[in-house]
Chain A
């Protein structure tokens, strides 16, 4: 099965080509092609998983490839690396894409560019899988850029909406800034190790560090350069600004790309190149703190947002922050585990919100309410998702998040306690704002009766994914049921060790009382605000107005960046354009021509027309020459 793994990226790519060239006009065929390929990819992924499981845990890594370009001493390959990590990602990506594509059947049904939409989805999946199965730094970068393109195309899918167009541009450019670092990192690797291959680099680093030919600080430098890429792609602070705007794209896209898969690519990349990061505490610290800060920072913003999708976007940010932090503190397994669970419940949440939007054509939560009466399935599934993300046992989120907290607690990096409390507080915030969302949207009375009356449960194609994902959001966590620890035994870095190390569920609960407490606290608090209405959010907003505004305006980051770009970049551009037009062009170029013509004009004044002047010139010339020559 593994030897066919190269098909996984290839099939969707083919689907893309087919749809673009041939079946643009037949929407159903296009959708069919794309979904079928996706299904087969999923099947392959499952097959690969089982094949891996059959292998002996020590040697669960298969790689093969072919040369892509070659200039001595370099040889850039395109190849496949199948190991637990990539198998895990393959499953997540293929499965979520499959569901999202099914979901889109309903969601995008009336869109005139239906086929185009599916072609883009296929292209995205292809690039994402290319990234996932990559066995070298160059290929991962290639996939990296391509998913960036797809995200650009899909965010700007409704290009005629100026916001969409802007958001797309923003997403691409911001990512590009991160990628600049990534590219430099890749080039540096190529330079130092003369190869791009993961395995070889890994060995070389190990050797280099062992016999001190390679300073760990240097490796840290490379790692941080690579991390820039992750910061961009996973929308970590300070490059987080693009993700909320990316919500301009169709909701299934947000679910797939901007919640479950692409944004997780950063996390995956860090995990993939973990040996570089773990070489030096410096890089680990940077990663951990960036992640931790993003987690709490984004969560705090989410408190004050009104757009259903933006709230979810910020929660995505914060969850990604969790994963990054977890990797930073050495919680490799927990990070990846959270990635997996998060993929399920965040996709679920997004799709749920999509179904809501589909019903109401409305995104402002303050215009919703009481939907539970009309949309049973959506409500229940959404509730499950919310519980999962809030970290209530036994839902999926609980296990992964708790593992992360353990990892942070046990970690040895610089002042890990800060991170720990930040993480815990984030957990509290998460619970709070997620339930705020839930209560406001699904419970209580309808606020906008017009749209409420038209509201209806979504079609089967949309509900099916919801249900499936809801099921997963409950069960996926059980992979790491204490004592079983299936996931931890499958995906780990270095030698196997089990975080927390609880032997049974009760022990786990007792161990992680704190996270449960904060989660419950968060839920109750938001219930007091938005369900029982004991406290009034409005009053709070008024009393703490400055803070409220700060949060509502996302700490004014967009404005700040906008100002920088406008002032510096475009300022410089203005100056240089002036320089180019006036100085170089008119001054230097046309100037010289002008001078020549003027000189010609002046010189031709010597042609006075008086014959004797001419004679005089002749005489003078002879005289002067004679004098010059003889003296």
Chain B
């Protein structure tokens, strides 16, 4: 246990100080690349190191990166705002591709999210025994891919990292999954890549249609320079939205999500639900909106309906699920609906809500999946019919799960509430502006979701943890979570609490990138 703590604290401290020295002086060490390289190197190290070190190495890397992430969050100069820690290396001049990393408020949050989930995931997969080495290699690779996607400001690299994350996921699900794992893995992969097919073509179309011959998002965001015609935007915005939406499980392209999470190993579903999925909403805000504001204005009100369907439909379907994990999966789909809905409002409040909700959903979903995984590991079944009264034998996990459920339900004091509240505020706002009265109709329906969520989550809590013990031999054999199992979950819970109790710094952070965006687009008017 103490060795674990050491493995966590030492690298954390190291990176913290390391970054500190950097953040003071000029940008010596390429901070952002470190987020990508550290896990990557960890993967290589695991590859060559003997198997018994695998988990230590990746835990060390995770805490190192976590330290960096926290420090990044602290060091980001809110006064200056804009993109910071930018690294730029020309890559292919003739195609306007260059390796550009940079973070603004929103992506700082996302990077922080990645690091948190990476850390928790590394801990959760502590007791993986099957093909451990490969597991941790892929796990780390996945993270470096996602981190890259959140940091890169060049469409080429954005896409590259984005898909780079998908592949390890395929293997993680396929090898360490449960149930119809190979089917699920295939489905998940094919789905996400199908979504990205539109993205790729869209990016290229943007590149060749715009007048600035570059894939640099910053340059492309200047509509006056790119001169993308309204008709072009109207054709490509929906395609891009759907392309991004697929990874956020946009209805009706969501079915990979339940199956995928249903069979993914715990850490994989944590990372996927927590980080990869959030990429969809993020990329819409980062790419689709600034590049094609007119298309956005034209399409978002209609896409809002899709998002709304996500929220409610998934919530209702979750009511009838019989598998513990599937309920969570559907709830995550529903929450992504909230995110997309927030984006569709095209209002400061709504978009901020979307960002915060993305962050919160990342943390909370990761926490919930971690819990499910741990419980499954002990009860050896996920069928709700067989579970029951688990609080008797695992009170701590039970309590944590109630907390997680409340976070999902959007209880104030936990992160879920802030995002949802802002999203509703935004949606009503854009209805109120009269720009698109469609939102006035959608807003109350959207609020229904908070009731539905409450219903299915409490149903879950009741069926799994409350009531009498259904399966008698559950309580002798089942023990409560060990330190290693509790630690990551508690960690995530604390993060969620931080956001919930004092959201100001987080909201300010996201607003740093949202406010300019809104000025740039100018909302529905």
Contact = CB atoms under 8 A, between A and B. Distances in A.
Is chain B found bound to chain A in the same assembly? Answer: yes
B481 interface: no
B392 A576 contact: no
Nearest to A181: B447
B313 A68 contact: no
B107 interface: no
Interface stretch (B25-33, B128-136, B203-211, B507-515): B507-515
Contact of B425 (A70, A74, A156, A572): A74
Nearest to A585: B255
Contacts of B507: 69-71
Interface string A558-591: 0000000000011011101100100011001100
A173 B451 contact: yes
B462 A166 contact: yes
Interface in A138-196: 138, 141-142, 145-146, 149, 152-153, 156, 159-160, 162, 164-166, 168-169, 172-173, 176-177, 179-180, 183-184, 187-188, 190-191
Main secondary structure of the interface of A (DSSP, over half): helix
Interface stretch (B160-168, B286-294, B453-461): B453-461
Nearest to A570: B319
**Best-surrounded residue of B406, B417, B443 (most CB of chain A within 10 A):** B406
Interface in B439-493: 443-444, 447-448, 450-451, 454-455, 458-459, 461-462, 465-469
Q: Interface range on chain B: under 10, 10 to 19, 20 to 34, or 35 or more?
A: 35 or more
B432 interface: yes
Contacts of B412: 141-142, 145-146
Given A159-B466, A165-B462, A188-B428, A69 B418 contact: yes
Contacts of B425: 74, 187, 190-191
A138 B507 CA distance: 16
B503 A159 contact: no
Nearest to B433: A191
Contacts of B187: 589
A584 B258 CA distance: 12
B52 interface: no
B503 A149 contact: no
B301 interface: no
A72 interface: yes
A607 interface: no
A183 B413 contact: no
Contact of B428 (A142, A160, A187, A584): A187
B349 A576 contact: no
B349 A74 contact: yes
A44 B502 CA distance: 25
Contacts of A577: 317, 320-321
A71 B444 contact: no
B417 A145 contact: yes
Contacts of A162: 466-468
Given A573-B316, A573-B320, A576-B313, A159 B391 contact: yes
B304 to A, nearest CB: 16
Interface in A109-130: none
B424 A169 contact: no
A510 interface: no
A67 interface: yes
A145 B418 contact: no
A71 B511 contact: yes
Contacts of A570: 319-320
B411 interface: yes
Contacts of A166: 462
A507 B23 CA distance: 79
Contact of A183 (B392, B418, B447): B447
B136 to A, nearest CB: 31
B255 A165 contact: no
B429 interface: yes
Contacts of A585: 255, 259
A179 B455 CA distance: 14
B36 interface: no
B214 interface: no
B8 interface: no
Contacts of A149: 406, 411
Contact of A70 (B320, B321, B429, B508): B508
A153 B403 CA distance: 11
A426 B418 CA distance: 43
A629 B348 CA distance: 56
B422 interface: yes
A324 to B, nearest CB: 23
B218 interface: no
The winner among B187, B349, B417 for most chain A CB atoms within 10 A is B349
Contacts of B448: 180
Contacts of A165: 462, 466-467
Contacts of B468: 160, 162
B392 A72 contact: no
A177 B190 CA distance: 40
B316 A572 contact: yes
B313 A589 contact: no
A138 B422 CA distance: 12
B295 interface: no
10 contacts: A141-B412, A142-B412, A145-B412, A162-B467, A168-B466, A173-B458, A184-B443, A570-B319, A573-B320, A580-B255
> Can you list the 5 inter-chain pairs with the closest CB atoms, starting with the nearest?
A165-B466, A142-B412, A573-B319, A159-B466, A577-B320
